[in-house]
Each structure stands twice: as structure tokens, then as C-alpha cells.
Structure 1
Amino acid sequence: MLLQFEVTEADEGKTIRDVLQTAYGVSRRLLTRAKYGGSVCLNGAPAYVTERLKKGDQVTLVLPAEEAESLVPQPMPLAIRHEDEDLLILAKPAGMVVHPTRTHPDGTLANGVVAYWQAKGESRKFRPVNRLDKDTSGLLIVAKNQWAHEQFARMQRQRTLGRTYQAIVEGLVADEQGVIEAPIGLRDDSIIVREVRPDGQYARTHYRVLGRGEDMTWLELHLQTGRTHQIRVHLSYLGHPLAGDDLYGGSRERIGRQALHAARLSFCHPRSQEMLTLTEPVPPDMAQLIGQIESRDGADE
């Protein structure tokens, strides 16, 4: 990975290390990697990170190539929505696991991405930013280098990574919009199932009604925190489990998986500092249910 910048007047007099860490989010770990196997250059010449900068100086940080991911490469179709030197953003289909687990050792999105990179002659680690459950569809960010992954971790801590979902829940949600603020933790009798509990982690979900059917509600949801199964747990707690989510009280009568889709991502690109927004339409199984809701809305008008 290569990171270059020109020193501004605001950073004049600061050390290379100070600017790399504060302005560009380069961690101590990355600086150590650059020292042993990479390089730090000032105006084209090797430099110490303690050197002071002047306006107009050119600083270049080069990190050594990473070891190849140990996952087995398995070529598969990938719905790539954006790619640059730092990011790969894909639309994950429902039913696909993101990363190998004990019960899903291969055939995952990670295996497919590693095969894609290897075919391009690239050696990278698989670093998903926003993890999606197996049966949740939609947009997923993969950081292509350690620096980018660290920047997204910072965005998540500062809650500046915008994540918007669409969902179909059972029953009619009364309020047009609202906030679910309830701590989430593991249920005592399970290593998978979460629940709202006083000793859980703080969690906050915003929702807005997009449409109502006879016994279903179409919602837009915005995550302020990112707890495991957060939307699924919060909506079940609200009394409106996701359609198809039998783990949290929903029925699979209408759809064979939880009706949850990561529809929109919005964030400031860590390198260019430009706002990047991507949207992904809901897949056919959810679109069919939304169509029933929309047709009922139209009949009621």
C-alpha cells in the first residue's frame, strides 16, 4: 500500500509521525511495518518519522506486501458495486456466509473474493467492515489493506459510517418513525441467540415506516450502533419480528429467510475525503412482499 501527501501550512513544523497519525490515521503498528519492510520518504529520500516538515514537502509511506490470505480460493460470481485501491464493495446475496465458520468451512464470500484477487495477481487479507448475517442481503464493504480497515474501524467508533437497511416485519407498526434504544447481550442458554437485557451492550436503532399492508410493515432502518443481530433483536423486542426470522419469532410462511436488506452505505472515503454513497435495490423475494404492501396502499387511497 502507498500513501502520499503534500504538507499543508497547517502541518508545517510537525513531525512526519505526527501528521501520519493525526491527519491520516496511520497507526503505530503500520508505522512499524513501514520501518521493517516498507519505507517512509520525504521529498523522494528515505526519512525518519521524527523529521520536521515544511509546507510543500512531499511525504510517501509505503507498506510491504501482505502475506497471501490462507483461505482456499473458490471462483464465484461477485456483484461488485465499487472498487478502488482501498475498498471493494459488493452486493451479498441472501444465503451466503461472509467468512468461513465451523459449520460453513468454504463456499463463503471470502473464498470468492480471495479467488478474485488471486486472479488479478493481488495478495491481500480478507477484511470485511460491516458483517452481514448469512440470510441478510445487501451492500458489504471489504477493506483492501490494513490502513483502510483501521479507518473504517474509526468511523464505526465515531458513528460516521452510515448504514441504512430495509426490512419487512410482521404486524402493523403504529408509529411512523421511532428509536429503539435497548441493550443487547447473549441469551443465557445460547451461544448464538441475543436478547434485550440490562447487562447487554448499548444499542440504538432508528426506524421509519415506508408502507403498511394487511399484516406487514415495510421499514427503513438506520443503525447508530452495530451489535450482532441488532435489527433482528430490536424489532422482535418491539413486537414486530422480521418476516422469515424464525430465530427471533418470525414466520417463514411468506419468505424463506429474514426479510432484511442492507440498502444504503454512506461514508467519507478515507483517502479522497469525498462522500461516497451507494444504494442497492432489494432482491426479488423482498420486492414481491413490498409489492403486496404497495398494492394494498394503493387500494386504500
Structure 2
Amino acid sequence: MKPKAPLPSKDGVAPSYLWLQDAPQQWRDMLVFLCARFPGVSEDTWRQRMARGEVVNQRGEAMTPASPYRRGDCIFYYRDLEGREEVIPFEETILHQDDHLLVVDKPHFVPVIPTGRFLQESLLVRLKKKTGLDNLTPIHRLDRETAGVIIFSHNPDSRGAYQSMFQQRTMDKTYEALAGLLEGRDFPFVYRSRLVDADKFFLMREEAGEPNSETHIDLIERQADQALYRLNPVTGRKHQLRVHMAALGIPILNDSFYPHTVPADAADNYDAPLKLLARSIAFTDPLSGDVRYFESLRRL
């Protein structure tokens, strides 16, 4: 269960938190622990954060370098990046806002939540700063490489009702993808397979066994040596559409993961975005009973 944060948001970024578990003896104090737990953050940086009162426990008590490590405590701190953050030169568009939801048209390359080398450039932080909605939370996933419609909740009282739609698969999600020509198939058709974690933690792969993923695939139009496809995922497995298209022998254009992964330190090629778009989301509103439909303004 997520505890109530004793620190406010800072520049659009909510504090991160960490529950303290059983401790090895070498963690004699909080400074030693934090340096071991976050090796990418220097000791001087942790000392500076503590001096500013930016590392506290669940009771709001400020941690010092000498504070003891106490099992069962919850430590709050602000995530930050060492050095200058890369600016992503694409802007999101707000499609809809009401008392419960914020619907956004996300550009390619922008991560939904802070991750890796992105913090201020994440969609969540951008939107908090743009709208002033501090309770924003995405209620479903969208890959950093994928553009299109994504829905955020900003009302904690109704969030569960909207999240349950995605958990129970009672919404219709439509994607579009550009890929090579698929011959020998009658459209539309259904593709099913079993997806599991690959050796690299961020990838998925297919294996033999009971299918746990399903995608409905249709042809929208042929375009010379490639085609525009309509993809309707019935399940929501990580990278499902990308793996399925690659398995069919028509990987989505500019996919840097499937079927071959580019080096992790390769720079983004802004001239070659992944040709995958979350075109639309439709659902029956769990509060009003109205049919809701949101569509991206972007084109592949």
C-alpha cells in the first residue's frame, strides 16, 4: 500500500518512497544504505539532499547521514538526475479534461512516467506542471516509443472505477502500425501466442504453451512495399503488438527492440520514430454510463 507522502511535490515531481527491510550489518546508518541502494547517486548528493530536509521517514522526521537504519520505516526522497536532462522536442496535446480524467495525445519518445534518464521530460511531470493537477496518475501503459491516446486519473475517489476497466478489459483500444506486406493471410485474423519475459529484463519473447496474449489484426491499406494495419489487443501484455508483428515476419517500422535490439546507449533517432500509434480508446463510463470515445490527432 502506498503511504501518504510527508513531502510535497517538487517542480512537478512527487517524492519517491522505499520501505526498509531486514538490514545487513554493514548498513550502520542511512548514508551507507542510500549509497549502496543507489550507486548512481554520489555520497555528496545524498548529504546535500539531507541537509535540505529532502530525505524523511513516514513521520516526516528528517534523515541525517548518521540516522540509524530502522526496519519497517518508509523513506521518502526526491528522485533527481545527475547532470543535464535531454530535452525531447515533441509536445503532447490535451484532448479532454473533466472532474475525473485527463486524456492526452502523447508524442513518440516521451516516457509516461519518470524512468531512466528522463524525469522532467516524462509525460506525467510535464502534465503536472502544465495543469497543476498534482494527483495525476496514468491508468494504463503506453511505451515510450509509442504515440497516441493515454488516459490519466486526477481524482483519487474515482480512480479505482476507471482502473478496473483496463483490468477487466472492458474498453476497446485500437492501434495503427506501419510494417511490411503480409502475404498469404486473409484479413482480419486473430493472432495468439504465449508471451514471457526474455533474458533481457525489458524485452518479451514467445514460447510454446497456452496462449496468454491475443491481437486482432486487419489491413487498412497497402502502400507500395509496406502496409498500414489496424491492431486491436484483447490482452495487454508488455510489448504485445510489437512482438506479435515481429513474429509474423513484419516487424513494425523503426522498432529498435524487435526482432533485433539496438545497443542500450544508442541515441534516439528523432527522424525515425516507431510507426505505432494508439489511435483510439472507447469505453462505457463507469460513473455516468455514457459511451466515451477519444481519438489521436496524429498520423503515421
Q: What TM bracket, shorter-length normalisation?
A: 0.5 to 0.7
Residue 103 of structure 2: which of 74, 89, 94 is its match? 89
CA gap 1:183/1:81 in 2 versus in 1, 3 angstroms: same
- SS of 1:149's equivalent? helix
Find the aligned partners of 1:69 and 1:238 in 2 and give their Cα distance: 48
Give the deviation of 1:67 after TM superposition: 7.8
Report what 2:229 is aligned to.
Answer: 219
Is 2:174 the counterpart of 1:164?
yes
Residues 76-95 of structure 1 show CA distances to partners (whole Å, capped at 9, x for unaligned) of 95411111010000000111
2:192 aligns with: 181
Paired position in structure 2 for 1:230 = 240
Q: 1:200 to 1:84 in 2, by over 3 A?
A: farther
CA distance in 2, matches of 1:202, 1:131: 18
Q: Are the structure 2 counterparts of residues 84 and 201 from structure 1 closer, same or farther at C-alpha, using a change threshold of 3 Å?
A: farther
Structure 1 contact 68–123 (Cα < 8 Å) conserved:
no
Distance 2:210 2:223 in 1: 33
* 1:69 Cα offset (Å): 6.6
Write the letter of the residue equivalent to 1:278: F
Q: Aligned-pair distance for 1:128?
A: 0.6
- Residue 21 of structure 1 corresponds to none
| CA-to-aligned-CA distance 1:179-236 (integer Å, 9 cap, x gap) | 111121111x201111112368711111110011332121011111111111001111
Whole-Å Cα distance in 1 between the matches of residues 8 and 237 of structure 2? 27
**2:207 equivalent among 171, 193, 197:** 197
Distance 1:77 1:245, change over 3 A: closer
Q: How many residues align?
A: 215
In structure 1, the partner of 2:27 is none
Q: Is the 8 A contact 1:185 1:199 kept in 2?
A: no
Q: Is the Cα–Cα contact under 8 Å of residues 243 and 259 in structure 1 kept in the other structure?
A: yes
Deviation, structure 1 residue 265? 0.8
Find the partner of 2:140 among 130, 144, 168: 130
1:210 is aligned to 2:210:
no
Confirm or deny: 8 A CA contact 1:98 1:133 kept in the other structure: yes
Taking the aligned partners of 1:229 and 1:145, their CA distance within structure 2 comes to 28
Distance 1:141 1:115, change over 3 A: same
Structure 2 partner of 1:142: 152
TM-score, normalization by structure 1? 0.64
Q: Deviations over 1:115-166 (max 9, x none)?
A: 1232xxx542x31122211121101100112343312232123211111001
Letter in 1 for 2:193: A
Whole-Å separation in 2 of the counterparts to 1:278 and 1:117: 19
Q: Which residue of 2 aligns with 1:99?
A: 113
**Alpha-carbon distance between aligned partners in 1 of 2:227 and 2:114, rounded to the nearest angstrom:** 33
More helix by share: 1
Give the TM-score, by structure 2 length.
0.64
Superposed CA RMSD: 3.0
AA paired with 2:298? Answer: V
1:251/1:191 Cα in 2 relative to 1: closer, same or farther (>3 Å)?
Answer: closer
Letter in 2 for 1:268: T
Aligned to 2:83: none
Structure 2: runs of 5 or more not aligned: 14-89, 263-268
